[in-house]
Amino acid sequence: MNFAFYESQFGLIKIGYENGEICSIKTAEIIDCENEPSVLTEEAFKQLEEFFKKERKTFDLPLKIKGTPFQEKVWRALMEIPYGEMRTYGEIAEKIGCPKGARAVGSANHNNPLWIVVPCHRVVGKDGKLTGYAGGTEMKKTLLRLEQE
């Protein structure tokens, strides 16, 4: 896998890609490997920037979603949550046919490799609380607020 790094309002973003598909998008503390930007990563970053500026609500990128079958099912369900809306972990578990799997959905969210594009920030606890987010609770608040404005 190759990686490209971009500076954003949320800090450094690391985009992983292979064979013409985006495999991961995460924040990073440092550039920890060779920086290999491509036309694909430039487009991915452009779309992220448009999202941050509220000029884009959905992404149009070739994605390689890699995880366990359960994780992939969860991540595909997350991609169906409309911009500006939220779902609970329990609602996602119900949607994928695993009604008692709210914790497992939370675990899949935690392991989501495609930050923002697979919108795990739109999933909250059943009481509406902003539970864990890989990018931190403050980032989750910011992303949800961005989508609500």
Domain edges within the chain: 2-52, 69-148
| Reported pTM | 0.91
Mind listing the pLDDT tens digit for each residue in 86-137? Answer: 999 999 999 999 999 999 999 999 999 998 999 999 999 888 777 767 667 7
Residues with catalytic roles: 120
Task: State the DSSP H helix or E strand holding residue 6, giving kind and residue range, or none if neither.
Answer: strand 2-8
Which residues are CB-contacts of 60 (< 8 A; sequence separation ≥ 6)? 47
Distance, in Å, from the CA atom of 122 to the CA atom of 37, rounded to the nearest integer, reads 29
Only one residue has tokens 């099912």, namely 73
Distance, in Å, from the CA atom of 145 to the CA atom of 143, rounded to the nearest integer, reads 5
Indicate the fold that domain 69-148 takes in CATH: Arc Repressor Mutant, subunit A (1.10.10)
Distance, in Å, from the CA atom of 117 to the CA atom of 114, rounded to the nearest integer, reads 6
